[in-house]
Each structure stands twice: as structure tokens, then as C-alpha cells.
Amino acid sequence: MFRLSRKVAFLVCVAQCAFAGKAGAQVAASLWTFAVSGDSRNCGDFVMPAIAAKVKAENDAFYWHLGDFRWMSQPDQDLLAMRPTGSQMTLLDYQQMAWDDFLSHQMAPFGSTPVFLGRGNHENVPPMTRAGYVTKFSGFLNRPEIAAQRQTDGSSAAPVGPWYHWVQGSVDFITLDNASQEEFSVAQLRWLRSVLDHDLAPNSGIRAIVAGMHEALPHSTGAEHAMDDWALGEHTGELVYTWFYDAQAAGKFVYLIASHSHYYSPNIFNTAYWKQYGPRVVPGMIIGGAGAYRYPLPKSADPSARTHVYGYVHGAVKADGSIDFSFRELTEDDLNSVRWPNAPLAAVHECFIHNAAPN
């Protein structure tokens, strides 16, 4: 019967895991590409159209948004800037139309390009709820790729929800939900374990596993704003990390992507905590540069980390299943070239220059 492992069992598991070599990894041209970022509150109505333009120009297979669509606790400055002069808006007015604004100003620019969504903590700001999120975004949460995967998994009768996965080529993309402090729940952990067991089975055809979530798993360089913030999050997040660690040890390419912190930071699990259990940590990154108020970098961040920038991560999938990731930074000209007709240049400039904490 499934149960959460105790921390002692967790440490024993990690200590006993041997890393399998990935023989034959080659430098080769990418087969296809995708894009991912998160946190488009505050100024996302200006930033997301620029991301969409880049994604379409690159012919990326899809865009993956890891949560925090709108601020919800108060109106976003981009939304206010595009309202008629002198118009009034109460907090309730804003909350009733904020998700519609996200759809019309941030999702519509992607056109026919597939978009996958993850739930962020700002999708949980009252009066917003998980049930309301699932209802509002059910078209994204049950995209044809996801519905087909559920049928393949034998779970087509299960309700549509905020965690899901889909296989593209030889890569399994897993969207996790850690936007609220009851996660990871037993139900989500059972589901994730079944997905990973299938991926690790002989002849599964899966070469790489990419997990996207809003908050980073514990003990990263971004631990000041991650699953470390609550006891269940820390405990279950540690367990989930070991599962991905074991998948990597079994020979899969594994990558963990989060947002929540509003900067770009690679190599986030290259920390003393995780390195004490094995010589090779799971590759991970934080990419929260889709429009939110930008944060200072933590002192432990990788030297190549960036803040006070907007952008997204570009993933290039290779024939052996490995994925090359690179940060794509946006310029103010990128934002202006696709700005909405009612978006004042001064407001775009304000978002580009000043939507950030002091460095």
C-alpha cells in the first residue's frame, strides 16, 4: 500500500542509488524545440505577446506556462494602463475579469501554437480556487495531447485536473501542482509514481523526463521561495526529488523546471544538501521571467543566473533524448513590436525598466 516515505528511508534510498552512465550521448542537431516560462502577472500583457511572437518564429512545438497568470490580490499595472482614462475598477471587478484578461491578452497571441498551463499560487488567491481554475482552463488542461495520453494511461474516466502529463516523441512532459500547501497530496504522488513506473519500464520508449511545476523542489539555490516554505512541501518535495534522481540513475535524461521566483537561474540543485548524497544532481532551473515583478538573485545562484530581465527558456530535444536549454532574453523593442493598440509606450517602458526590486 502506498505511503509517504520517512526521511530516514529517503536518505537510505538516495545513498544506495548508483548512477547509470549515459553511454553514447552525442552532440547532434535538435529534432524539435519547445519554450517554457512562468509568472506573467504585473506586466505579462506586455511581455507574453513578445514571447508568443518568438515561439512562433522559432516554430517551437509548444509553450509551457508554469503559473501565476495575474496578480489577483490587486490589479496588474499592465491591465490598468490599457483601460480608458478615468475608468474605475474595484478589486472585485478586477478579480472577476482577470483570468479573461489573461486569455485575451496573453494566450490569444499564440494562435494555433499549443499552450500547456500549470497552476501557480496566485491562481489560489481568494476568491480563486482550484475548482474554479480547472473549470476556467479546462480547454488547456484537457488538450487533445493530454486527453490522448489519459486514454493511453487507462485513466480517461478520471476527472480533468491541474496535474497531467503528455508524451511527445521520446520525452514525457509532466505538469505537477504545488501551488497550495496541501501538496504534494497522496493522490498526486500516487499518480506521479505510476507515471514514472511506466517511464522506467522496459521498452517504454521514454528517453527523457521533463517535470514542470510552479515552486521549485526543496533545497535548491532558490530555497528562500520554494517548497521549503511549508512542512508537507519540504517532506513530499524531497521524496519527489529522489524519484527523479532514481529515474536519472536508471539512465533517463531528467530535467526539473520551476518558476515562482522572478528570475532565470540554472543548476538550482547544485547545492551542498543534494551533493552530499551523490556526485550528480538532477538538472533543474527556475524561469519566472514572463512579466512578474522581478526579484533579486539569491547569493547562492549560479553565476549565469539573470534578473531584471524578461524572457523564457528554449529547449532543444536531441535524437538521444537529451535536451539543450538556453535562456532567451527579450528586449524593450520586442515588447513594443507586438504591443496592444491601447498599450501606451510609456506603460511598456515603465514595465520594462522599473518592474523590479533594487538589485
Is 15's pLDDT higher than 60? no
Q: Looking at the predicted structure, is the pLDDT value of residue 14 above 70? A: no
* 5 in a structural domain: no
Mean pLDDT of the chain: 92
Average pLDDT over residues 227-238: 97
pTM of the model: 0.91
Q: What is the mean pLDDT of residues 203-225?
A: 97
Q: Is the pLDDT of residue 197 over 90?
A: yes
pLDDT of 86 reads 85
Average pLDDT over residues 292-306: 96
Residue 318 belongs to what domain range?
Answer: 28-354
Give residues with Cβ within 8 angstroms of 4, minimum separation 6: 186, 189, 235, 236, 239
Q: Which residues of 27-53 are buried (b: 16+ CB within 10 A; e: fewer)?
A: eeeeeebbbbbbbbbbbbbbbbbbbbb
Q: Residue 143's domain is classified under what CATH number?
A: 3.60.21.10
CA neighbor of 245 nearest in space, from 236, 235, 254? 254
Question: What are the pLDDT digits (tens) for 312-331?
Answer: 999 999 999 999 999 999 99
In a domain, 23, yes or no: no
What pLDDT is attached to residue 28? 59
**279 within some domain:** yes
Number of alpha helices (DSSP H) and beta strands (DSSP E) in the chain: 12, 11
Using a 10 angstrom Cβ sphere, with 0-12 exposed, 13-18 middle and 19 or more buried, the burial of residue 112 is exposed
pLDDT-derived band at 154, boundaries 50, 70, 90? very high
The answer to whether residue 18 sits within a structural domain is no
Q: In what order do the strands lie in the sheet with 115-117?
A: 115-117, 63-65, 32-37, 311-317, 323-329
Q: Is residue 165 situated within a structural domain?
A: yes
Mind listing the pLDDT tens digit for each residue in 167-184? 999 999 999 999 999 999
pLDDT (tens digit per residue) in 89-110: 999 999 999 999 999 999 999 9
Would 63 be classed as within a structural domain? yes
Residue 12 belongs to some domain of the structure: no
Classify residue 236: in a domain, yes or no. Answer: yes
pLDDT tens digit sequence for 235-281: 999 999 999 999 999 999 999 999 999 999 999 999 999 999 888 99
Query: How many separate domains does the chain show?
Result: 1
Query: Is the per-residue pLDDT at 26 higher than 60?
Result: no
Whole-Å CA distances, 153 to 143, 166, 206: 15, 10, 14
